[in-house]
Chains A and B, each alone.
Chain A
Amino acid sequence: MKYVIIGNSAAAIGAVQGIREYDKDGNIVIISDEKYHTYSRPLISYYLKGAVSEDNMKYRPESFYADNNVETMLGVKAVSVDSAAKKVILEDGGEVAYDKLLIATGSKPFVPPMEGLDKVEKKFSFMKLDDVKAVEQTVKQGSKVLIIGAGLIGLKAAEALEHYGADMTVIDLADRILPSILDSEASEIMMNHIKSKGIKFMLSTSVKSFEAHSAELTNGVTVDFDFVILAVGVRPNTELAESAGGSVNRGIETDKTQAVKNVSDIYAAGDCTKSYDITSESERILALLPNAFMQGNVAGKNMAGKETYYFNAFPMNAIGFFGLHIITAGSYDGEAYTEINGKNYKKLFTKDNALKGFILMGNKIERAGIYTSMIREHIALDEVDFEALKKNPMLMAFSRERRNEKLAGGVGNGN
């Protein structure tokens, strides 16, 4: 059996581990256009601010490929998949045959058309190690920086650049920061927190036109900069799946085994795919590392012949900015329970006798996973002491039977 994996990040590594649980001998080949040992993409901002070394960014130990008998083709770009002939076509014209293929190609920055962007000499995306290495070469103490996008990527970039004393302006078309994970109240708390570090925000605006070192915004303000960080959003890399004839609708469409719809022996996992979100009951692109690993892991098991399903996806985020941490999950739908105490914020959303989502910030984040498990396990609220749970996540609030199960067990609760 020959397994070929395109991609070398969380989903790909999850797949290797999944395959090796059931097939110790088959050949595994990883093809990646990046030249690096597998590393954690979300750690690039920590690298830029000097909180983690390049070596400690490795997502798995140096010996991972050898330990798992994986052949790597790094710095090699796959350009198409011939699903009839079952081979991957490389940029240099080479071909790699497969029995089972995993597409774990992630996502790419989305840069909307902006007038004069080509005049800007120094502009960077913020997704890959090479992106931050380029920023590292450019940033100087006190550099003026325009960050386009007040989402997770843009604000993580801002946190890192603050270590260089950068003079930053963050703009976004939305009327609040982090709209994908925070409601308006939490968003305002976080924005004020980040503003206190000297970072300026301009919301509900976008770039009208660029000059080499300035941008005129639609709100009439002109912002000068030494360089620009482009962090508007991301889009799934779906070209390879399309070339193979797989089903793509914004993201790559898969079944519960992570097999790509419309083709055979091709699987997909990670940020390039769509997932079924159990909290909104809809197909969504969940570009989240834990989701990518788990999808990849399930894909790998299925590729190795062990039928396994991925069925418990929902949005989950844990992230902090300048020491203020946020943990969120699920959908913000239904009745809300709210606690606000300065920067400490808690909002729980319940609907149909179940917890559907939550936003926790500051000192409200401890033991958040108990809430997450209530979403994941569809715990009926009338079977727990939800009044107690609202205030503090605790196992005490579960029935004695379920509590004993949890305390005795803890074996095999994953996906």
Chain B
Amino acid sequence: MKRVYVNEDRCLGCHLCETYCAFANSGETDMVKAFKTGKDAVPRIRIEEGDGINFAVQCRHCADPLCVKGCIAGALSVNNGVIEINHDKCVGCYTCVLSCPYGCIVIDYKNGGRTVTKCELCTRNNAGEPACAANCINRAIVFEERGED
């Protein structure tokens, strides 16, 4: 399946991916309005910055996902390879935060941590394709098929 991949040699650490992720999941159509009204979502992608190295990290959509296996509420599930979260079922226990080897489950501080949230490859918003990859100015983030499964 198509996944988001990052090339750490190209990442400038500009954080635009986080901004576009927050916008894509805001439900708003106007970016300025989304941020002005505080409707921007918690970014489900995060930049790690180091000495001359930067890269973005978000859900890898594992074929054998520990977060889904461990979810106590049945709130995480796999739909056509995409790991989805049902926010109505999530009780914010953070077992998935404990389980994810990549640190990719995000605590939704916008709702006071009542639930977690995560990258769903923009399949459940209006962005079409993953907004992080589509808007990466240096093509450090790409959305492509690498035939891993």
Contacts and interface: CB of A to CB of B under 8 A. Distances in A.
Contacts of B64: 411-415
A396 B57 CA distance: 10
B92 to A, nearest CB: 7
Interface of B: 3, 5-6, 8, 48-50, 53, 55, 57, 59-66, 69-70, 72-74, 88-89, 91-103, 105, 107, 112-113, 146, 148-149
Contact of B63 (A10, A323, A411): A411
Contact of B91 (A46, A377, A408): A46
Interface stretch (A65-73, A187-195, A365-373): A365-373
Quick one: which of A297, A369, A372, A373 has the most chain B CB within 10 A?
Answer: A369
Given A56-B89, A289-B72, A396-B48, A327 B94 contact: yes
Contacts of B3: 410
A410 B102 contact: yes
Interface of A: 10, 14, 40, 42-43, 46, 51-52, 56-61, 289-290, 293-294, 297, 316-320, 323, 325, 327, 329, 365-370, 372-373, 376-377, 393-396, 400, 403-404, 406-415
B92 A320 contact: yes
Contacts of A289: 70, 72, 95
A393 B99 CA distance: 13
Contact of B103 (A294, A394, A404, A408): A394
A323 to B, nearest CB: 7
B34 to A, nearest CB: 24
Contacts of B92: 320
Contacts of B59: 410
Given A40-B73, A369-B101, A369-B102, A407 B5 contact: yes
8 contacts: A14-B69, A61-B74, A320-B92, A365-B97, A395-B57, A408-B146, A410-B61, A412-B64
Contacts of A59: 73-74
A413 B62 contact: yes
Interface SS of A by simple majority: mixed
A129 to B, nearest CB: 14
Contacts, number: 152
A318 B60 contact: no
B98 A327 contact: yes
Q: Can you list the 6 inter-chain pairs with the closest CB atoms, starting with the nearest? A: A410-B60, A367-B103, A290-B70, A373-B101, A414-B64, A369-B100
Contacts of A393: 103
A409 B148 contact: yes
B99 A369 contact: yes
B130 to A, nearest CB: 15
Given A56-B88, A409-B60, A410-B61, A290 B95 contact: yes
Given A40-B73, A290-B72, A368-B103, 11 more contacts: A10-B72, A42-B93, A56-B88, A316-B95, A319-B93, A325-B94, A327-B98, A369-B101, A394-B48, A395-B55, A396-B49
A320 B142 CA distance: 37
Contact of B60 (A52, A320, A411): A411
Contacts of A52: 73, 89, 91
Contacts of B73: 40, 42-43, 52, 56-57, 59
